[in-house]
Amino acid sequence: MASPEVLSRLEQRAIQAEQMIDLLTKQIAQLQAVAVHTHKEKLRQENQELRLEVDRLKKCLLNLEKAQGITQYYDFSKKTTSSSPASDPQVQFVPLSSNLASAQPQPPIEKGNKEKGDKKSEKKEKEKVGGEKKGGKKPEDEAPVDVSRLDFRVGKIVSAKKHPDADSLYVEEVDVGEEKMRTVVSGLVKFIPVEELQNRMAVLLCNLKPVKMRGITSEAMVMCASTPEKVEVLAPPEGSQPGDLVEFEGYTRNPDAVLNPKKKVFETCAPDLKVDTNKVAVYKGIPFNVPGKGVVVSQTLLNVQVK
């Protein structure tokens, strides 16, 4: 059991410890108060500098607009740091009357001129609704030139016969999933017997601009694996139906309604349309794909162009 002297010393030390803790707590509180005050002062100074910078920029903007002849109805350069314009006696409004008074009176609009103006307005509105203003760019002008702009579809050659005025051409009636058959003129006479084209599935490029070939308008193109000596109609996968779309992985299908011959979209893509070593039709190595059904292939040709 501890003696009274030991207990007394322990009590004194406990008291001293409590006093020391109180002292340290007060000092910490004082330091925190000083730190907060210092931080507040720093923020106030930074805010003041920002206000001055904003005022300087306002003046620069005002001078630039005046130099460009822009009429000022509200003088921002006179505004100080107050948050409410109504409570700031230094905010100045330039009276509108001085500007309106200087405006020249407009001559009366005659009925004929008004009608012309109305027609011009209607024309502009129609152009806006169509998504294009005169002289502006069409959406396809800004689209990348790649296979996404080509409208490849599966079609069925329902009938084929020789062109009445050209020995090297066939005239085919093709079902591409539309209400009406498309007429297609193809230079396949010396490569493929006419009976092999009857009721045959094929892949067609459907958004070429229709063109007359010896008096008959061709509305699409049958895609073939091609060499100077041999040509084969590309074969869609089993189960394909007329109108099935042909897609390419990595290229979101977004074909032009009709390809503009001047833009040479097909001509730009054509060198990359090929049949690979596995007889699969590809664009830059990516297969012609009928979603859910498979890829488009040639019959025997490989490592050749698709035309």
pLDDT of residue 4: 79
Nearest to 288 by CA among 242, 271, 279, 258: 279
pLDDT in tens, 128-167: 555 544 555 566 667 899 999 999 999 999 999 999 999 9
Q: Using 50, 70 and 90 to split pLDDT, how confident is the model at 32? A: confident
Does residue 94 have a pLDDT over 70? no
Q: Where are the alpha helices (DSSP H) in the chain?
A: 4-67, 96-102, 111-129, 139-142, 265-269
Q: Is residue 240 exposed (0-12), middle (13-18) or buried (19+ Cβ within 10 Å)? A: buried
- 48-64 average pLDDT score: 87
| Contact in structure between 156 and 199 (CB atoms under 8 Å) | yes
Beta strand 221-222 with 294-295 is: unpaired
> Percent of the chain at pLDDT above 70?
77
What is the C-alpha to C-alpha distance for residues 243 and 13, in angstroms, rounded to an integer? 97
Domain assignments of the chain as residue spans, ordered by start: 4-93, 147-306
Task: Give the model confidence (pLDDT) of 242-300 as tens digits.
Answer: 999 999 999 999 999 999 999 999 999 999 999 999 999 999 999 999 999 999 999 99
pLDDT in tens, 112-132: 555 555 666 666 665 555 554
Q: Measured between alpha carbons, how far is 220 from 202 in angstroms, rounded to an integer?
A: 12
- Name the CATH code of domain 147-306 (choices 2.102.10.10, 3.50.50.60, 2.40.160.100, 2.40.50.140): 2.40.50.140
The CA-atom distances, in angstroms, between 226 and each of 24, 54, 77, 233, 253 are 93, 69, 74, 9, 25
